[in-house]
Amino acid sequence: MCSFLSTGLALLCVFLSQEVASIQFPTGVTRTECRGRYFWIWMDKAALGPSSWTYSVFNELGQRIPVTDHVAAQCGFTKTTDLYGNPEIRVSFLGCSIHNLFDQDFSLHLQVEVTSPSNVTVAYDVSMKCPLGSAWSPREIVCEENYMEVSVRRAVPGIASEALNEDWIAVWPVAQGAMNQVWQVVFHFQNGSLQNMMATEAHALGYGVNTTASRVLFRTPYSTQQTEIAMVKGLEVEVARATVFYKQAWMILMVDTAVACPINAPVFTATTLSWVTPRIMPSLVAFPRLYQDEAIEMGLDGLVIDRVTVARNGYTFLTDRTDFISITVPIGAAGGLTESDVMDNHYGTTYSIRLMLDRKWQGDESDRTRHRSLKLIRTPFALQTLVLINNTIPERGYFDISLGNFLPDVELTSVGIGGLPLTPKDLKTRGCHLDERPNPNNTRVLILQVPFTDPLVEQKYLYGNIRRYTVRLDYVLNLVPKDKLFTYPAVIECDVPDVVLPTFEGFCDTGKIGLVMTRGNLDHYWVSYVGNQRLTSELIMSQNYTVQDDGKYFYLSVPFLAVGLSYRDISLQGLTAQLDFSLRDNKTLVTTVVFSFACIFPTGRLLVCLPNGTMAATVLSLDTKPSLDPRNTHLRDRNCGPVAADESRALFSFPVASCGTTRRFEGNYLVYENEVTFKREMIPGAKPVITRDSQYSLTLRCRYPLNETLQVVAQRLQGEIGTPPPYALRVKGYQQKRSADHQNVSQPRVAYLSTGAAEKSWLWFPAFGAALVVGGFLPVIFLGC
């Protein structure tokens, strides 16, 4: 009776591959169920792991036929996944290769070939038997994901009904002229034309045409050459109007196998999804006037649900409208599944639900139709705003951060702290606390606690006793089944009043100025400066600083003419030297703490080259023997005397452009030079000239480099440092600074004038580019350079 079938299968047999010996799946890996008119088979995705799989069935000759997408749509197979991603196979009871016992009992034997990533294929047998369940309706239509199927009872009614279907009337002439004893199919189009073909041809085009003990079956994939789209009140329906017929010498059997399935897209709002289908399906109802619903039920995953469940899940199921039937589901409602997704590194969700609409209607006396549509609906990606909450309480000593709200399919891969990625295990090892808190709505929150003391937490001193802890986090999260990574960065700060600042005590010693710092808890991180000079070991060595640091106390002593000090005042009484000690942030070099302390040292022989072009010098009478009266000294310009003088010393202070100062270029330097000489008192009339006083001349020379890149080179000059002990002058006791105003305060440089003939010395002035040369004493030796 089904002679064309073997031809159809013969075509498929071309694709046969080698036989693979098959075994049974281990228990628990598969689950099977007879549901509706289907064999349902699920496989555990965890058991399959990364393996790929295909499946095959066997024809009557026992040959294996791999089920490709093409074969599946023709033969009533659907390969898909359940909501949770487990592979699922659905097979129609009327599918190919099903052993069908009088349309009452069905058995399936298929083979699943699982190929591991290492290319090892194992074949597993799956066999199941299903009873019919609810009795066949005269006509049953199924709208599957990948095909439309109709089966019609082929028992001939007693007396032919007078109400002939229009399509039948059209087919009649075709059937009359057709070949005998061959099943044929006629397709009808909206434009009125017909296309007829033998069942074998229809088979070759991908249609399934078959007969069973009591039924005629027609199956078509969607969107074929012979299917058409019909619009019903704005709703799209895909229709295949086919008539299958069989002619013998004395009779023609025609079966209307028209099939129509709603295909319009679901409608999404922010909170719901709706699926609307026409009430009366075109081409399936001949006399809409006579149309009557017998049952309209909704289902999930192929199972009908009752009205109580519909209400409990919050669905809206409208069946009482004239033109349409609609199902509206709140997004996230029970029965569906909300899953995480990632798009452009943004976290979001999609919601999927597998709806079913199962209807029975009566078109006219002879038309009893059962129509089932299975519809998988997946909402578009909906961005979810992640919520980061800073629960940090400064007193607790750790950051407390929660990030949510994640579905169960999100897994924390790592958290980068300060750029270092740390797995949950690493985090625990280093003393961070990681936890999860569930929300009532199946989402959860990740809680991370990071101690302030963790080395990856940045610290910054702000002011007073306030320090700012900053933790830079990069959450890396993964969607578990999809294996999609996304990141979420966060920066959390906390200002904590836990800084103990250092305290200072300054002291003046013979020829030295210094301080003792009692350390606090943050200054270890800071760098020390003396004036503008960083306190490096080079500076300490070259300038004969003394530094001691036992971690609790820091001691610094600086010779009073060393580089790093500044000088505030010079008078006949003394030279005020100031030590500006500061601590600066190790990264930004912002000054955090400043301590300034000044001492006055007795004025000795000094030359000071001021940055504004003023030269200042003190001259002592002790420098000559016999001593002369310093009040009688002057510069080259005799009118330029000391600005202050007593019987033992004189102070000169004059701009470089006056008092006969000469100027010359020496390489890259501008050298200013003047001379202190003694006003000789002549005794008139006597010859040879006798002078009471010795001749006295002292060269003062300042060198100013022309270019700006200068290096501080200071050299202590030989000579006595003032005999009387210095007395201390506290200038600024102790001061803290908030911001880094590095003052470019011009400071003069000081050197002792040397006693002794061949001494010369240089002082370089970083900020102003001045250097000085100190010449010797009588007999005047001019110390040129």
Ligand X SMILES: *[C@@H]1O[C@H](CO)[C@@H](O)[C@H](O)[C@H]1NC(C)=O
Out of 288, 655, 725, 733, the only residue in the binding site for ligand X (CB under 6 A) is: 655
Size of the site for ligand X (CB under 6 A): 47
Nearer to ligand X, 274 or 715 (CB): 715
Residue labelled with tokens 């001019």: 782
> What are the residues whose beta carbons fall under 8 Å from the beta carbon of 270, sequence distance 6 or more?
331, 382
Nearer to ligand X, 707 or 723 (CB): 707
Nearer to ligand X, 173 or 733 (CB): 173
Out of 248, 537, 707, 739, the only residue in the binding site for ligand X (CB under 6 A) is: 707
Nearer to ligand X, 394 or 719 (CB): 394
Nearer to ligand X, 25 or 347 (CB): 347
Task: Check whether the bond before 779 is cis (ω within 30° of 0).
Answer: yes
Per-residue binding letters, 614-633, with ligand X (x by CB under 6 A): x-------------------
Is residue 684 near ligand X by the rule CB under 6 A?
no
Is residue 381 near ligand X by the rule CB under 6 A?
no
User: Which tokens belong to 77?
Assistant: 């197979």
- Three-state DSSP state, 321: coil
- Least distance CB 626 / ligand X (angstroms): 31
Q: 348 pairs with which residues across the strands?
A: 341, 383
Q: Which stretch binds ligand X (CB under 6 A): 247-255, 446-454, 632-640, 712-720?
A: 712-720
Q: Which stretch binds ligand X (CB under 6 A): 22-30, 369-377, 493-501, 641-649?
A: 493-501
- Least distance CB 361 / ligand X (angstroms): 27
Strand order of the β-sheet with 316-318 is: 267-268, 272-278, 324-330, 316-318
Q: Looking only at residues 82 through 141 of this chain, which bind ligand X when binding is defined by CB under 6 A?
A: 96-97, 100, 119
Nearer to ligand X, 548 or 746 (CB): 746
Contact 16, 65 (CB under 8 A): yes
Is residue 208 near ligand X by the rule CB under 6 A?
yes
Dihedrals phi, psi of 172, to nearest 5 degrees: -45, -50
Q: Which stretch binds ligand X (CB under 6 A): 164-172, 208-216, 408-416, 773-781?
A: 208-216
Is residue 51 near ligand X by the rule CB under 6 A?
no
Distance of CA 193 to CAs 168, 175, 239, 260, 418, Å? Answer: 13, 15, 15, 19, 73
Out of 86, 196, 212, 591, the only residue in the binding site for ligand X (CB under 6 A) is: 212
> What are the residues whose beta carbons fall under 8 Å from the beta carbon of 782, sequence distance 6 or more?
699, 775
- Three-state DSSP state, 382: strand
Q: Looking only at residues 588 through 617 of this chain, which bind ligand X when binding is defined by CB under 6 A?
A: 610, 612, 614
Is residue 385 near ligand X by the rule CB under 6 A?
no
Out of 44, 201, 426, 493, the only residue in the binding site for ligand X (CB under 6 A) is: 493
Out of 484, 636, 716, 737, the only residue in the binding site for ligand X (CB under 6 A) is: 716
Q: How far apart are alpha carbons 618 and 570 in whole angstroms?
A: 9
Dihedrals phi, psi of 189, to nearest 5 degrees: -115, 160
Is residue 714 near ligand X by the rule CB under 6 A?
yes
Q: If 0-12 CB within 10 Å is exposed, 13-18 middle and 19+ buried, where does residue 779 land?
A: exposed
Q: How far apart are alpha carbons 530 and 304 in whole angstroms?
A: 86
Nearer to ligand X, 8 or 299 (CB): 8
Q: Looking only at residues 535 through 574 of this chain, which bind ligand X when binding is defined by CB under 6 A?
A: 543-544, 559
User: Which tokens belong to 327?
Assistant: 């199902």
> What are the residues whose beta carbons fall under 8 Å from the beta carbon of 772, sequence distance 6 or more?
607, 608, 609, 615, 700, 701, 702, 703, 749, 751, 761, 762, 763
Which residues sit at the interface with ligand X, rule CB under 6 A? 2, 5, 8, 75, 96-97, 100, 119, 189, 191, 193, 208, 210, 212, 390, 392, 394, 405, 439, 441, 443, 459-460, 492-495, 525, 543-544, 559, 586, 610, 612, 614, 655, 667-668, 705, 707, 709, 714-716, 741-742, 744
